[in-house]
Chain A
Amino acid sequence: KQEVTQIPAALSVPEGENLVLNCSFTDSAIYNLQWFRQDPGKGLTSLLLIQSSQREQTSGRLNASLDKSSGRSTLYIAASQPGDSATYLCAVVAVNTGKLIFGQGTTLQVKP
């Protein structure tokens, strides 16, 4: 059974720091991995989608990498800003079920 884990559950950093959020999954048989952002009381916003054949995707200050063999993905945020404060979730589509499996998320606070 595919499981997705995000550690740490919460992270607090000063503004300007480069930071890495981690996502691990137990079964390397995935179609893709997607990173989302969620602000309090709101829905999820798609940040980056990495297909299984890809190693990374970039959007602005965000870079997501995927290492299927080790079951890991990282979301790199460069020069963090207070506006980056949110919960970040990763999710994989498992090959055996075709279903999207979410991690529990990492809540990020960037202090001015």
Chain B
Amino acid sequence: DVKVTQSSRYLVKRTGEKVFLECVQDMDHENMFWYRQDPGLGLRLIYFSYDVKMKEKGDIPEGYSVSREKKERFSLILESASTNQTSMYLCASNPFLLGAGGNTGELFFGEGSRLTVL
């Protein structure tokens, strides 16, 4: 079974702190994604990566950065956490499929990281 593991299920941080959210997948997937999920707003894509050291902005990248130094690991960084970044953060991965847009493989999610910024 594909497993996407997010290192922290619950975090509480203070405004201005630097926050790292780690995600590891064990199925050799090329694509990895970070979403945030908020009531009434649904899932919104923050950043994604198609390969090591590659990153692409999603719909709401402001206030976030990412790092992908190894294929299996994709980190989300909040340089200076703010209260409006309190949210559920979801990591996902899928395989890159040639000839079909590259993003058509089945998507697998981690358990989520609930971040509260005080």
The stretch among A36-44, A59-67, A68-76 that forms the contact with chain B is A36-44
For B62, the chain A residues whose CB sits under 8 A away are none
Give the total of A residues in contact with B, Cβ under 8 Å.
23
For A49, the chain B residues whose CB sits under 8 A away are 106
Residues B109 and A44 in contact, CB atoms below 8 Å apart = yes
Residues B43 and A93 in contact, CB atoms below 8 Å apart = no
Residues B100 and A44 in contact, CB atoms below 8 Å apart = no
| Chain A contact residues, majority secondary structure | strand
| Given A43-B112, A105-B42; A98-B106 close (CB under 8 Å) | no
Residues B107 and A43 in contact, CB atoms below 8 Å apart = no
Residues A100 and B90 in contact, CB atoms below 8 Å apart = no
| Given A99-B45, A104-B42; A42-B104 close (CB under 8 Å) | no
Could you list which residues of chain B lie within 8 angstroms of chain A, going by C-beta atoms?
A: 4, 6, 42-43, 45, 88, 90, 92, 100-104, 106-112, 114
Could you list which residues of chain A lie within 8 angstroms of chain B, going by C-beta atoms?
A: 31-32, 34, 36, 41-46, 49, 51, 89, 91, 93, 95, 98-100, 102-105
